[in-house]
Every structure is written in C-alpha cells, then in structure tokens.
A and B are shown apart, each in its own frame.
Chain A
Amino acid sequence: DAGVTQSPTHLIKTRGQQVTLRCSPKSGHDTVSWYQQALGQGPQFIFQYYEEEERQRGNFPDRFSGHQFPNYSSELNVNALLLGDSALYLCASSLPESSLGSVSYEQYFGPGTRLTVT
C-alpha cells in the first residue's frame, strides 16, 4: 500500500521565481493538506483540498496557491519566491471528515520537499 509521496525531494530556486511541488495521497484517501515547516519550527497549515476545491486555508498570502486533480493528487504553487519561503513543505492525506462523521481520524504525511530560496 503506497503511502503519501512527494516530488521533488529537494529544490533550489532564486528569489522572484515560481515553484510547483507535487503530492500523491495515500491509496484510498481523497483529501490533501499542505504544511510549511521552517527550520526548528513545527509545521504550519497552508491549505486543504477536497473534491478539487480549496476547503480550508491557513494564514498564508495569495502567493501560495494549489490545485487538486481528479485522481486526488495535488500541487502547491508558490509565486514570487522570498528568502523566507525556504522550508520543508509537507503534504498530508486523509479521508474527508464528512465521510466519517467525526474528527476522529489520522492524517498521513509524506517525506516532504526541501525548498531552498537563494
């Protein structure tokens, strides 16, 4: 059973450039969430996608956008990169809470993409 996969594993970009990160959810999952983890900090929630729509969003600027495809995979796009965007970007998948009628379920995280902005 394939877990959550992310690509690429590492990426180096220059300030002002744009980047796209990719995520494939765990088999059977259809909800994808993205997190940003700066060095030495806990992960911060960026947004969640379900049924190809953004359902929840954290406190991140519009430079951060996403997309979910019919096969449930997802992309995270970041425009006009800043040095402060350097971080580990994590993808997590889960079943939608509506299908379970509760919040009692776990999320599975991928290994992350390490983005360095120079």
Chain B
Amino acid sequence: DAKTTQPPSMDCAEGRAANLPCNHSTISGNEYVYWYRQIHSQGPQYIIHGLKNNETNEMASLIITEDRKSSTLILPHATLRDTAVYYCIVRGIAAGNKLTFGGGTRVLVKP
C-alpha cells in the first residue's frame, strides 16, 4: 500500500471548517483513500473513502486531487466532539482487510 504523510497536529476553531491534508504521492490506480478517526480511548471510526471522485457524507467531504497524489478531508462545521486523531490510509485489493495506520493528525477543536 502507498505511504501517506499527514501533519502531526492542527488546531481548529469551533464552528469553522477543518481542512485536513494528506499526501499519498505513490498511490496506484486501484487504491482507495480512506479516512478514520480515533477519539481518545475509543476504537477508530470510519469517516469516508474515495477512489478519484470527490465524496460527501453526513460526517465529512473528501476532496481528491486530479492526479490523486493528495487529498483533503473537510469537516464542514467542527465541534468540540470532533477533537480526535485523524488517519489517512491508502488501501488496495492486495491489502485485503489490512489497514495500515500511520501517525495521523491530532486535531484539537477549540471553543
């Protein structure tokens, strides 16, 4: 699976949009970009995933660049409950069920 690079931490103001970047320059054509988050002392929670088109669900939006070498997770209106570690993961069929977690981005939403 392609390696991902994320900033180690970032702060966000409550009510504002949070934009979380992820670089995955070695991604291959059949690999998906996944985002999970982990709130303190809980198991990781699935947020969203995509292949090449932008995706949106009730939690977030995922913007993937045209060359697919980077992506951005957008939390449209951050709340204090969005404080968590956010993981960007690239996974292809060869990986099967295996998710390879990196260090993630520790997001602190401030009032």
Contact = CB atoms under 8 A, between A and B. Distances in A.
Contacts of B32: 103-104
A96 B62 CA distance: 24
Contact of B43 (A41, A58, A112): A112
Interface residues of A, number: 27
Contacts, number: 64
A90 B97 contact: no
B99 interface: yes
A43 B101 contact: yes
B46 A103 contact: no
Given A103-B95, A104-B49, A104-B51, A42 B101 contact: yes
Given A42-B104, A106-B49, A111-B42, A56 B96 contact: yes
Interface of chain B: mostly helix, strand, loop or mixed: loop
A33 B42 contact: no
Given A103-B32, A103-B92, A43 B97 contact: no
A50 to B, nearest CB: 8
B108 to A, nearest CB: 16
A42 B96 contact: no
B97 A48 contact: yes
A56 B51 contact: no
B100 interface: yes
Interface of B: 30, 32, 34, 42-46, 49, 51, 87, 91-93, 95-104
30 contacts: A4-B43, A33-B97, A33-B98, A35-B99, A41-B103, A42-B101, A42-B103, A42-B104, A43-B99, A45-B99, A45-B100, A48-B96, A56-B96, A56-B98, A58-B98, A92-B44, A92-B97, A97-B93, A97-B96, A103-B91, A103-B95, A106-B46, A107-B97, A107-B99, A108-B46, A109-B44, A110-B43, A111-B42, A111-B43, A112-B43
Given A104-B32, A109-B45, 5 more contacts: A45-B99, A58-B98, A92-B97, A103-B32, A107-B97
